[in-house]
Structure 1
Amino acid sequence: MKIKVDFDLCESNGLCEAMAPDVFELDDDDLLQVHTDETTPENLDRVKQAVAACPRAAISLEGDE
């Protein structure tokens, strides 16, 4: 599944980083960086949690599982 981030909505509050630090990271300027745009079997559950936790619904998943 593809990870999509709407950076216009993103507040960089770091909830996604807390849920999936191997995928999401806030840089030194507190801007969200996405390390990969594809989920893996190992990170899918954590990415889904990050999507659900995003207060601005800035993160979504596209495609089939």
Structure 2
Amino acid sequence: MRVHVDQDLCISCGTCIDTCPEVFDWNDEEKAQAIVDEVPPEVEEQAREAVESCPTNAIIEH
């Protein structure tokens, strides 16, 4: 599983970072970004929860 944060849609709410800090963190523009290329299997459930919790649907799972 891979995830990507669309920087144009991210509103910096921090929900994804709070939900799955192993995968998401702030970038230099104070927007969320994925910090791993591949989501570790042990946190896939939390990463999917972050995708579903994003208020602007900025996180793309692929």
> In which range does the TM-score fall when normalised by the shorter chain?
0.7 to 0.9
Query: How many residues align structurally?
Result: 62
Q: Percent identity?
A: 39
Q: Which runs of 5+ in 1 are unaligned?
A: none
Secondary structure in structure 2 of the residue aligned to 1:42: helix
Aligned to 2:49: 49
Larger Rg: 1
Aligned to 2:34: 34
Corresponding letter in the other structure for 2:18: A
TM-score normalised by length of structure 2: 0.84
**Relative to total residues, which structure has the larger helix share, 1 or 2?**
2
Do the aligned partners of residues 11 and 18 (structure 1) sit closer, same or farther apart at CA in structure 2, a change above 3 Å counting? same
